[in-house]
Amino acid sequence: MTKDKIAFQGEEGAYSHLACEQIFPGSSIKPCPTFEETFKTAYEDDAFKVIIPIENSLAGRVADIHYLLTKYKLQIYSEHFQKVEHNLLVKKGTKLNDIKYVRSHAQAIDQCQKIIIKHKFKTIISADTAGSAKELSKSNDKSIAAIASKLSAKIYDLDILEKNIEDDSGNVTRFLIMGKNVKQPEYEKNKKYITSCIFRVKSIYAALYKCLGGFATNQVNLTKLESFSVKNTFDQTNFYLDLEGHIEDTRVQKALEELGFHTQSLNILGVYEASSFRQKK
């Protein structure tokens, strides 16, 4: 049986790796140092899928992803909502009283302020959570701890001194599973779908108002709409949009036709089944 080939940004043990283990257990993985290299991997080899974090319930959208979506035009196959559970990792035999510093990604540091303030830890900002655990595993300094996933503790042979140290237990990251080949599920009326696209409005009066009118008249619900600038200009704006529905649904078709009429460019990024996580909200 052929293993799935999955690329993600970060070191082994990253939350993207954790998502990969849940979605594609036993897959062949390729950790990438940057999001650019992750996208490029799937763009150059259609055997690869990529797992990309696009937004976090606390921190908002992930920087640079929208520009890479536009640049590489990979197709979205599915979405995955991953609960983020931070843990305090230490070298074996380390006690809480030994720790003076805690190392992690800036967002993880921000999301674990209660324990940091309580124990008066000094913080060290690193590129990512799993990388912090990896660096800790190479050190003999017991005064430093790392904030990272349980998977990182397992991979780098570290002890979990305290579990679930995040300030907010509702911390969730939404991931997109993407690849180069265009494919979409067949439309079934009893299933819920998401259609994602990126469009650029014309630089005219009330352009966005006209673009969105078709969704209102056709009763199509938008779950996400974000703007991001067109590089090297302040005159135009791109928009990332998620809507509820399948592109073969007549209402969605009519809404997208109207959107296309009022835009300078429109790229459909994918049509995929809505995650069951959405039903729990």
Active-site positions? Answer: 173, 175
- C-alpha 165/C-alpha 203 separation (Å) is 47
Residue with tokens 């966005």: 208
228 contact partners, CB below 8 Å, separation of at least 6 = 66, 67, 237, 238, 239, 240
Q: Where are the alpha helices (DSSP H) in 165-206?
A: none
- C-alpha 210/C-alpha 217 separation (Å) is 11
Q: Is 160 helix (H, G, I), strand (E, B) or coil?
A: strand
186 contact partners, CB below 8 Å, separation of at least 6 = none
Q: Is 14 helix (H, G, I), strand (E, B) or coil?
A: coil
**What six digits make up the tokens of 170?**
């509702």
Query: Between the CA of residue 119 and those of 27, 33, 87, 165, 245, what are the distances in Å?
Result: 39, 32, 15, 12, 48
The amino acid sitting at 106 is: A
